[in-house]
Amino acid sequence: MLLTEVKESNVIDVFSEIENNIKGNLSKNFGEHTIKVNNHLATGAVKGMIVQDNKVFLEIDLRCHEDFKMNLASADLNPVHFLYGQNNHSEIGIESMQKTYALNEFQTAIVHHQDKNVFLNFKKNEHVKICVISVCMPLSTSFTTSDMNIHSLFTDTLKDGLFTYCGSYNLKIATQIEKINEIKEEGIIKKLLVEGMVQLILAMEIQHHQDDLNADTNSFGVLTKAELKKIQELGTSIKANADIQYSVDMLTNQTGIPAAKLQTGFKHLFGRTVTDYIKNIRLEIAEELIKTTDLNISEIVYSVGFSSRSYFSKIFREKYGCSPKSFQDNLKYRAVSA
């Protein structure tokens, strides 16, 4: 097994160390780091950024050609690692310990070791996708009260200097990661949006850990992993085909998931009922069409699946605070005035 180690002496050096150790090519753009890899070790990319000076956000997507290990933020930085599996080929280990932990698709994990490095195992011929947020507290770096509280949640329960938790699955986090990858803005705007979403993912990981400790309160316990994944895919399909005239019965027949479970899944994953989710998706697509096309309001109404312009105007006003025509006219006025 080939061992590659990340021995960064401070948080900012993380990406340079990864670049050197997996022989990648690092590029930077407004705080966003991308390491492209195409060599005997792996093909793919490691990307992410430093958030609030002491959090390392990584998205790892590598097809491995050799066995190797990569340390996360070094033990000197006193990191707590929050991990999220995006497929079934991720494995976590701890330096000088024989035991490793499998991180499955949609599964969360939290790992902290006071003295030893935590690493990811990459195995030959496997495609590894994993999201990592490392909250670091080196002595040389100032930290906020909230960061100290994050550490205390886990360091207070250390056993032999070690805290390891592999949780249940959570598809909401997958949705947030997808939103990061869907950001169209560039530069400083993208940086700020990503930082906000990373903070949200971190909060979701911590909340999920608390929910697992009180598993009887989990409203999604009635749904299997396969059912949640089907509902997630259904949400994506609706977004891509918003003009179809959907009904709960139709979606139940399509997925084989009973209506009650379908509603529970949508509320868990998207925070909305099935009908509200479809309505909101159509409104968001309509808003984008008003901004980016010359279609008139009636054409937009029917292209996104609404059958009544008056109903569309009503719910558009409820969401955006003005009529769609006023929204469109204001955009045209601003374009002429610019």
Residue pLDDT, tens place only, 256-298: 998 988 998 898 888 889 999 999 999 999 999 999 999 999 9
The confidence score (pLDDT) of residue 92 equals 85
Q: Is the pLDDT of residue 2 over 80?
A: no
Give the model's confidence band at 196: pLDDT under 50 very low, under 70 low, under 90 confident, else very high: very high
Of 54-68, 89-103, 147-161, the range with the lowest mean pLDDT is 147-161
**pLDDT of 3 higher than 60:** no
Backbone angles phi, psi at 107, to 5 degrees: -95, 145
CATH 3.40.640.10 is the classification of domain 2-217: no
Euclidean distance between CA atoms 266 and 247, whole angstroms: 14
Q: Which pLDDT value is given to residue 331?
A: 82
Which CATH superfamily does the domain covering 225-337 fall into? Homeodomain-like (1.10.10.60)
| pTM tops 0.85, yes or no | no
Start and end residues for every CATH 1.10.10.60 domain found in the chain:
225-337
Locus of tokens 């790992």 = 111
Residues across the chain: 338
Taking residues 124-149, what's their average pLDDT?
76
Mean pLDDT of the residues in the chain: 84
Q: Which residues of the chain are in CATH 2.60.120.280 domains?
A: 2-217
Helix (H) / strand (E) containing 67: none
